[in-house]
Amino acid sequence: MSMTPQFWPVDDAHVGQRIDNFLLTRLKGLPKSHLYRIIRKGEVRVNKKRIKPDYRLQMGDTVRIPPLRLSVPSKTTPSLGAQQLLANRILYEDKNLLIINKPAGMAVHGGSGVSFGVIETLRQARPQEKFLELVHRLDRETSGCLLLAKKPSILKELHALLRDKQMEKVYWALVCGYWPKNLHCVDAPLEKFELRSGERMVNVRADGKLAVTEFKIIQRFADTTLVEARPLTGRTHQIRVHALHAGHPIIGDEKYGDKEVNKKFRASGCKRLFLHAVRLSFVLPSTGQKIVVETQLDVELQDCMEQLR
């Protein structure tokens, strides 16, 4: 345990990174719930000022960390099976970035009872990589295109693309019921909150943060609709909560879904959230290269579709 506060200057490699992500990668052994608590209480400060978890670091910032007791890091490492699983799901790679088809059920990073996520597993499998960071996140239950940066300068560029809405992210979701033909966009502000159990939830609230998702019908079935979702903002659980707000929760969603419908689909073999990031595209400013990556639905989702047809 450090008995005195620590002060960390921000260099160019971390400009544009969220303060919570910055701290998560450096305070190993600190539970995420504790991290967000000390941020909320103002014990973490930037330039002597209180900040929110989504504050993005700027050149010249100084981050103050209060005295903390960190648990002893586990000596165990991500399994070889997990490492091989991710190696087999690489969709695109070059010297600047890596895009994988994240499997459902694997968190993007450790925390909240999860020892290892995608980022820890990839770092363990690639000790030669001097830098490897998540550019964005996917919910643990969601599969599909996940982007990682292999250089600090590239991470900064990609974060700028996200902020400026210059990165296209496309998802497919199977939702309950008959999605209306004229419902092309859900514009509903979102707010995060915690249950007494500590579980993180999101709901629509008038004074929440701006959140916009575009929807398009792909195919209709008897009691469900396959839709394409394009989030124009990047809020936690955005597509899932917007689908619920529209009256058509996503199949297999244990947080926001219809329990009876989910039970029926589990019985027929679909035991996961039917949400998959199918496409990711952007132009990397420093090289002018256009990156377009697409991936098919996972096998269990394809099987579910075959049964519906």
Measured CA to CA, the distance from residue 154 to residue 285 in angstroms comes to 9
Contact by Cβ (8 Å): 104, 273: yes
What value, to the nearest 5°, has the Cα angle with vertex 238 and ends 302 and 192? 135
Measured CA to CA, the distance from residue 112 to residue 125 in angstroms comes to 22
**DSSP 8-class letter at 114:** B
Query: Structure tokens of 294?
Result: 């697409």
Contact by Cβ (8 Å): 192, 142: no
What value, to the nearest 5°, has the Cα angle with vertex 214 and ends 211 and 219? 140
Q: Please provide the size of the chain in residues.
A: 309
Contact by Cβ (8 Å): 168, 150: no
Residues forming beta bridges with residue 18, ordered by sequence position = 56
The alpha carbon of residue 131 and the mean position of all alpha carbons in its chain are separated, in whole angstroms, by: 19
Query: Structure tokens of 253?
Result: 């969603």
207 is catalytic: no
Which of 11, 20, 139, 298 is the catalytic position? Answer: 139
Measured CA to CA, the distance from residue 121 to residue 129 in angstroms comes to 13
**Per-residue exposure over 40-78, b if at least 16 CB sit within 10 Å of its own CB, e if not:** eeeebbbeeeebeeebbbeeebebebeebeeeeeeeeeb
Measured CA to CA, the distance from residue 76 to residue 91 in angstroms comes to 28
Mapped onto helix, strand or coil, the DSSP state of residue 100 is: strand
Residues serving a catalytic function are 139
